Chains A and B, each alone.
Chain A
Amino acid sequence: MADKKHKLLEVKGLTMDFGGLRAVDSVSLEVHEGEIAALIGPNGAGKTTFFNCVTGIYNPTKGDILLHPKGLETRRLNGLKPNKVTEMGLARTFQNIRLFQDMTVLENVMIGRHCRTKSGIFRSIIRDKGVREEEQQIVETCYQLLEKVGLGDSANEFAKNLPYGAQRRLEIARAMATDPFLLLLDEPAAGMNPQETADLDHLICRISEEEKIAILLIEHDMKLVMNISNPIYVMEYGKKIAEGSPQEIKDNPKVIEAYLGEETED
């Protein structure tokens, strides 16, 4: 194992029950440094629930979520509040876009800087030099992030006025503003047209390479992730049914069945 890349996230036997429904059933998964890992599976497989457990929105019924930040001690994320998880360097986007609609595009990203800055109430009122400099720093960082995702020109527009694809990219920029080392993207391509999807794939690869952020990606569509992610994990009915490289997944009979099964149902 020593020659392998550094392990960032390690989830062991994660289980999440909603009353009688077991939405996630002892799923284990790892994300290493520099990876773009993918979690795929049919609708209702439990992918989003898995994300919600890892990011602290739900407290999992069973299992361990361990974060190994580089050069820092390992932390167990179970039961931590979402903001603590984010502070530790794990950021996310949402499947059903959750932007701050009545704030400007730039302000949305600025919210991401909140946990990395520290002006309190009194200093915000006095607005001393330190606070002004910090604000300026926030604005600059966020502008650069917006330019990276191609939204530099819309900085002062309201988030609600952005087209759909741009809203998804804004969510990514906002998550990146929290300085994560691991980014969880929940169906970032949902509802995008083929051109937007291609741009998005490009963006994700760039984030991974240039920013050195590892990525765990949920995608409903199997074909789409095949060319950017490795490894791929497949879930169905809450269970992990396969994992491996794109080629292995493509040839896995269980995966084929899961997807074909779904198509005949539709």
Chain B
Amino acid sequence: MLRDFKQSLLISAWFVFLTFPLMAVRVNTTDQVVTWRLMNMVWVAIGSFVLSYAWRFMLERKKVRKKTAEEGADTRSKLQIKLEDMSFRYKAMGGLLIVALVYPLVVNTYQTNIMISALIYVVLGLGLNITVGLAGLLDLGFVAFFGVGAYTFALLNHHFDLGFWMTLPLGGVFGCLLGVILGFPILRLRGDYLAIVTLGFGMIFKVVMENWDSLSFGPSGIANIDKPGLFGMDMNLAQSTTYIYYIMIALVVFTILITNRLKNSRIGRAWIALREDEIACVAMGIDMARTKLSAYALGAFWAGMVGVLFASKTTFINPASFTFMESAIILSIVVLGGMGSILGVILGAFILILMPEYLRDLSEYRMLAFGAAMALMMIFRPQGLVSGLRQKYEYKGTKDQVNNG
């Protein structure tokens, strides 16, 4: 403790020394005067001291926790223990659902719109969570599936006047198909190679959409896409935003239900086994090709579906919406939230999408904060915000108790 204190003092002194010329001295060359802003130095000193001390404290805590884990003690956090209690979980979910349903009625359209964006990323995150979080297959081009869904709706709507509800499942199916097409050539790849090929795949999608004018209308994109209809009712902007919000909530709930079922099924276990150890996985009789393809396809399915909704919400799409940046954000959501954890991904999406919206003042430093947050996570909580919840089975009581996150 005292050592940490001393170290932090030292670091703070060092910072004061380093930043002194920059922060404390201001030379006004026209008036030939020097102003000393000593107050700045005090702030630097306090700031660096607090940060350094917090840093040390966190590292220390991590070490202690690792030690207790090695001794076999219970290292689950209070939140985790709570989450493993089913009745608490049902109550929490019910409460959240009520809040979610009331939300658009108490806030304005602008807020609802932001929330819709966040929910879109929740579904994208849950989709990618299957590929990356459960099956452990890196995918840096996930946005391509999102784009396919969006273009599916935009084009079908433009050429054939197909409606939102008709195309919603179609978008998912096309996403799925593209997932399989991507899956085949990369079945044998691992690690860095997988990263490069999927990255390229995402880029190719955007380039094709930019240049294949006759299909996609190039960079100018497609406008006037229909909003989701409700029995042909006329809706003003606010009403239709609220309507889309409720569709989105339904889609999120649907996604959670299905991915949760998959996760604790025979297929889901195979995905996790593949992530944990590929060789052991095939040696236990699991068909690797089939498992990998299904992981890509089912991840892509959700991206395709929510892509349809995205096109319908914005009523205009062009290739600029489907950049690598989007893939990176979705991947960050999964990594930040905790690989394989549904709750984690939802939290991750809200943090990464809502924070920048509400901290608009900091928008210039957005990417900086993003990077810093990621680096800090990797150091202090590499497993993500929520992790380590697995299904528990009870044998003697013939009924199995479902317990997962």
Q: Which residues of A contact B (CB under 8 A)?
A: 55, 57, 81-83, 86-87, 91-92, 94, 98-104, 106-107, 110-112, 114-117, 119-121, 124-125, 127, 131, 134-136, 138-140, 143, 155-156, 158, 161, 174-175, 178
Interface size on B, residues (CB 8 A): 34
Contact partner of B268 (CB less than 8 A), chosen from A81, A94, A124, is: A124
The residues of A that contact B185 with a CB separation of less than 8 Å are none
Contact partner of A100 (CB less than 8 A), chosen from B262, B276, B400, is: B276
A101 to chain B, nearest CB (A): 6
The verdict on B317 contacting chain A, using a C-beta distance below 8 Å, is: no
The complex places the Cα of A3 from the Cα of B284 at a distance, in Å, of 34
A114 and B276: CB pair below 8 A?
no
Interface centre among B286, B388, B395 (most CB of A within 10 A): B395
B390 and A86: CB pair below 8 A?
no
**Chain A interface, DSSP helix/strand/loop, else mixed:** helix
Total A-B pairs, Cβ < 8 A:
124
A106 and B279: CB pair below 8 A?
no
Query: Which residue in chain B gives the minimum CB-CB distance to A106?
Result: B393
- Known contacts A98-B280, A135-B400, A140-B395; A158/B286 CB under 8 A: no
**Chain B interface, DSSP helix/strand/loop, else mixed:** helix
Q: Mark B278-290, 1 if CB is under 8 A from A, else 0.
A: 0111111111100
The verdict on B62 contacting chain A, using a C-beta distance below 8 Å, is: no
Contact partner of A55 (CB less than 8 A), chosen from B272, B276, B283, is: B283
A178 and B294: CB pair below 8 A?
no
B284 and A121: CB pair below 8 A?
no
The residues of A that contact B282 with a CB separation of less than 8 Å are 81-83
Q: Which residues of B contact A (CB under 8 A)?
A: 72, 258, 261-262, 265-270, 272-273, 276-277, 279-288, 294, 298, 388, 390-393, 395, 398, 400
B360 to chain A, nearest CB (A): 39
B266 and A124: CB pair below 8 A?
yes
The complex places the Cα of A57 from the Cα of B272 at a distance, in Å, of 20
A86 and B283: CB pair below 8 A?
yes
The residues of B that contact A81 with a CB separation of less than 8 Å are 282, 287-288
B261 and A125: CB pair below 8 A?
yes
B270 and A136: CB pair below 8 A?
no
Query: Which residue in chain A gives the minimum CB-CB distance to B261?
Result: A125
A-B CB contact pairs (8 Å), 13 listed: A83-B282, A91-B283, A94-B280, A99-B277, A101-B276, A101-B277, A110-B269, A111-B273, A111-B281, A121-B267, A135-B265, A161-B72, A174-B284
